[in-house]
Structure 1
Amino acid sequence: MLALEFPLPALSLAGWQQGPESARVILCLHGWLDNADSFLPLSAHLSDLNLVAIDLPGHGLSQHRSLDAHYHFLDWVHDVATLIKSQGWQQVDIIGHSMGGMIASVLAAVMPQMVRRLVLIDSIGLVTGDSSDISQQVRTAINHRWQSPNKQKPVYRDLQSAAAARQSQSDFDFNSAVILTRRGTQACSGGLIWSADIRLRETSAYRLMQNQAIQLLRDIQCPVLAILAKDGLEMMQKSRQVYQNCYSQLKLVELHGGHHCHMTQPEMTADEIRQFLLS
């Protein structure tokens, strides 16, 4: 495992690489409030592939956005596009979990020359808003921005207690929580705090409308594998009904497990990914 740092114009991204560096890059994008190490269990079963996993801005070991900035979904798409361009990578394959899959989906739609194949792990479609809710959406976002500077992160006495807190909010086992906690915490007076930017919890000031989401998904021309967890997020099952017919080349499979099935069922998930990427 090789630790990496990617200096971009606005900030620096952290990550790691595993496998033959001469092979095609398979970029791994994690979900909201996770980090690059969410792909560690999966990487143990894909050691022959060139995996590059990054911490998205504000997550893990990557830098936070500047104090005058916020975490808009489309800015993450720009970050990933800038990373690919700056590294001179040709067409990459992308494995995206949850929010990471949505970021990858929009990238594949707007920069088709950058993405050869796309793997979505318990992720399908995009999160959208309703035009009738726009005033409330913006009002809530403003209030959250006012509140963020006054919020204090909880302090945990050790790694185990922080991992237990993470597990209590998720559907995975304690070992998976420890994996995320090791990369996702930093030392402070009294113990550990989460390193993730507290502004990640702010409500977004805007959402894509459903017709925009449908158009973006229709613009994805590369082959897509969607691995949905049978016991995953309910919103993904609902999104499946709305969006699965929007993809021009979609292979959809279901696996046992929860939302983090790539961590709790890594071998089965890896088998599906290998078959898709190497076919």
Structure 2
Amino acid sequence: MFDGQPQAVSFQLRQLQLQGWRSGTEGAPLCLCLHGWLDNANSFLPLAQALPEFQLLAVDLPGHGRSDHRSPDAHYHFLDWVDDLLQLVTVIDAGPLHLIGHSMGGMIAGAFAAAFPEYVKSLVLIDSLGLVTAPEHNTTQQLRQAMLSRQKRLDKRKPYYPSLEAAAAARLQQSDFAMAQAMMLAERGTELVAADEQQAPRWTWSADLRLREVSAYRFSRAQALQLIADIQQPGLAILASNSIEMMAQAKPLFLPVYPHLQVAELTGGHHLHMTEPEAVAAQIRAFIAAQ
């Protein structure tokens, strides 16, 4: 049996190592949790506390939290996340899993469920629908912007903060949650820079700067719709009443396409699994119990 505190876990993939944690009761249904862009596994801590009867396995995606960054000659293409997930579930080797994904993590989980249904028992999307798309006529401009962003990234340096609290406060400026949730992410997503005799200790966020580069390609709308239509597992979308603009655009496009998707809208913002964990947990509990 696991105790009340999440247990640290690590998984060696082909070329990098993923770090994460596991909570809940051994032998209970296993839910693999995938966080959103620039978040980390700790975004699921409130949900783990609200779902003690399940096993939650949350990992830091490559370039996030405590997991390895991609090699110096690589970038963070969306389809590579799907490959990471395939390697991970193969290493876990626990049979079909319940996948829980927030935002970008939900997109990765959805693409994976469509392509590899044998590994997925059910799909829970937390304020996440479909995939990011771009019109075909923007292909050249997308490529240009991506290459220029790679060049600009070479001149960028990470900001440093005098304390962990200061790093969390900076994250708070770009978020829809409170300081308590920002500290959860900061405790896992920052690193202390060694100080010399002339300089006090400093904290910086550990996320790879390449995560902020413009993507070199996007799915076309037709490609995204075809992929989502191939998701045959039962699904639950838990949507926030006060979400981000991208979700408002995704709803009319993707909601009619999922073959087996239940939808629940809860009061809250994009990170409602952190700010309203009990309400989100109740939806997940009922959904998984019905499978």
Q: TM-score range by the shorter chain?
A: over 0.9
Is the contact made by 1:25 and 1:50 (CA closer than 8 Å) also made in structure 2?
Answer: yes
Task: Find the residue that maps to 2:154 and give its secondary structure.
Answer: helix
Q: Deviations over 1:115-158 (max 9, x none)?
A: 11000000011100111111111111111112223210000110
Task: Find the residue that maps to 2:236 and give its secondary structure.
Answer: strand
Map of 1:84-233 to 2, 5 A cutoff?
84-188=89-193, 189=195, 190-233=201-244
Q: Indicate which of 33, 52, 66 corresponds to 1:28.
A: 33
Identity between Structure 1 and Structure 2 (%): 51
Cα displacement (A) at 1:159: 1.0
Is the contact made by 1:35 and 1:60 (CA closer than 8 Å) also made in structure 2?
Answer: yes
Q: Indicate which of 67, 71, 74 corresponds to 1:69.
A: 74
Q: Which deviates further from its counterpart, 20-29 or 35-44? A: 20-29
Which residue number in structure 2 is paired with residue 276 of structure 1? Answer: 287
Amino acid at match of 2:92: Q
RMSD between aligned residues: 0.9
Q: Which deviates further from its counterpart, 96-105 or 160-169? A: 160-169
Cα displacement (A) at 1:233: 1.1
Amino acid at match of 2:109: A
Which residue number in structure 2 is paired with residue 59 of structure 1? Answer: 64
Distance 2:103 2:96 in 1: 22
Which residue number in structure 2 is paired with residue 251 of structure 1? Answer: 262
Which residue number in structure 1 is paired with residue 87 of structure 2? Answer: 82
Cα displacement (A) at 1:237: 2.1
Which residue number in structure 2 is paired with residue 267 of structure 1? Answer: 278
Q: Which deviates further from its counterpart, 134-143 or 194-203? A: 134-143
Distance 1:86 1:7 in 2: 8
Distance 1:250 1:237 in 2: 17
Cα displacement (A) at 1:88: 1.1
Is the contact made by 1:122 and 1:233 (CA closer than 8 Å) also made in structure 2?
Answer: no
Distance 1:146 1:234 in 2: 28
Distance 1:226 1:233 in 2: 15
Amino acid at match of 1:126: L
Task: Find the residue that maps to 1:144 and give its secondary structure.
Answer: helix
Deviant stretches of 4+, over 3 Å: none
Distance 2:154 2:12 in 1: 27
Is the contact made by 2:28 and 2:53 (CA closer than 8 Å) also made in structure 1?
Answer: no
Amino acid at match of 2:278: E
Task: Find the residue that maps to 2:9 and give its secondary structure.
Answer: strand
Task: Find the residue that maps to 2:172 and give its secondary structure.
Answer: helix
Unaligned runs of at least 5 residues, structure 2: 1-5, 196-200
Cα displacement (A) at 1:174: 1.0
Task: Find the residue that maps to 2:225 and give its secondary structure.
Answer: helix
Task: Find the residue that maps to 2:99 and give its secondary structure.
Answer: strand
Q: Deviations over 1:143-197 (max 9, x none)?
A: 1112223210000110111111101111111111111111010011441000000
Output the TM-score relative to the length of structure 2.
0.94
Unaligned runs of at least 5 residues, structure 1: none
Cα displacement (A) at 1:24: 3.2
